[in-house]
Amino acid sequence: MWSAPQPLSYQTGITHSSLHTPKMTSPSNLTHVAPQEQRFLVLFDFDETIISESSDDAVVRALPGQKLPDWLKQSYREGHYNEHMQKVLAYMAEQGVSKDSIHSAVEKIPPTPGLLNLLQYLQNHQQDFELVVVSDANMYFIETWLERAGVRHLFHKVFTNPASFDATGRLVLLPFHSHSCSRCPDNMCKQVILRDYLVSRQKERGGMPFQRVFYIGDGANDICPSLALGPRDTAFPRRDFPMHRLLLGMQQFKANVVPWASGEDIVDCLKKIVKER
């Protein structure tokens, strides 16, 4: 179990965790960086990319028996995971799992190896990188974890499924949007999100596009947004995870592909690109 660092303070930086989290001191020019000056966009998946496992699996361990009954597991329909997770959260509420228990379970999830070092590097180069999360998890899990790790302020935007606690103490999950993409689950197409974001940000940046886009992920649903990347962009699939295995079998993929096992692998690649200028 990791010991999360204290939230980042612009004055003091974060303390070290038991996983030797780097001390993320804030660069002196952090508050003076104009968003339109950032040359690169970095998109992160969340489950098994920023964090070391699925947040849904971690939260299920808050149940009295630490697992779901077979009838609930067997109710899952392919392509309808969001709907399934709605049932899981309703079941957890029926079993008396409290908001505090869910909150604690999320906070205890360790980061993926080297991930906090990657975020340290990106923070130190905020003049170059804009960061976004695109995840099929949910807003409550992601915001809770990022806040606890002291890194929420690094992300310009979080795209994920809405989730909040209702008056009865149940965490209510909703789909992110509807779409017509046949490759993606019914509640989210990450390519639609990516394309819309690039268009809106270019307008906000006075017509200036990002020079390069980097997509960091692990799962099969990270393939679709990666197909929107161009020859100057880079897809970072987590090594030996579904995204990596699927990319290995693709012939007509435009972007560069850099597999990673640790966030340090991504740092090494980004350092070279930053130097190119």
Q: In terms of residue numbers, what domain contains 222?
A: 40-52+111-276
Instruction: Tell me if 246 is assigned to some domain.
Output: yes
Q: What is the CATH number of the domain that holds 217?
A: 3.40.50.1000
pLDDT of amino acid 3: 52
Instruction: Tell me if 228 is assigned to some domain.
Output: yes
pLDDT of amino acid 183: 85
pLDDT of amino acid 276: 82
In the structure encoding, which two tokens stand for residue 24, read together?
A: 């993320």
When divided into structural domains, the chain yields a total of 1
pLDDT of amino acid 277: 63
How far apart are the C-alpha atoms of 198 and 62, rounded to whole Å?
Answer: 38
Residue 240 known to bind ligand:
no
Residue 196 known to bind ligand:
no
Instruction: Tell me if 76 is assigned to some domain.
Output: no
Contact 150, 12 (CB under 8 A): no
Other Cβ atoms closer than 10 A to 38 = 22
> Is 45 among the catalytic positions?
yes
Per-residue pLDDT of the chain (277 residues; tens, 9 = 90+): 455 544 433 222 333 333 333 334 444 334 444 444 789 999 999 999 999 999 999 999 999 999 999 999 999 988 788 899 999 999 999 999 999 999 999 999 999 999 999 999 999 999 999 999 999 999 999 999 999 999 999 999 999 999 999 999 899 999 888 888 888 888 899 999 999 999 999 999 999 999 999 999 999 999 999 999 999 999 999 999 999 999 999 988 999 999 999 999 999 999 999 988 6
Candidate list 45, 222, 233, 265, residue with the active-site label = 45
Q: Exposure of 225 by Cβ count < 10 A (0-12 exposed, 13-18 middle, 19+ buried)?
A: buried
Hey, is 237 helix, strand or coil?
strand
Instruction: Tell me if 21 is assigned to some domain.
Output: no
Candidate list 47, 128, 233, 265, residue with the active-site label = 47
How far apart are the C-alpha atoms of 216 and 95, rounded to whole Å?
Answer: 36
pLDDT of amino acid 6: 42
Instruction: Tell me if 270 is assigned to some domain.
Output: yes
Instruction: Tell me if 155 is assigned to some domain.
Output: yes
Instruction: Tell me if 28 is assigned to some domain.
Output: no
Hey, is 65 helix, strand or coil?
coil
pLDDT of amino acid 41: 98
Instruction: Tell me if 143 is assigned to some domain.
Output: yes
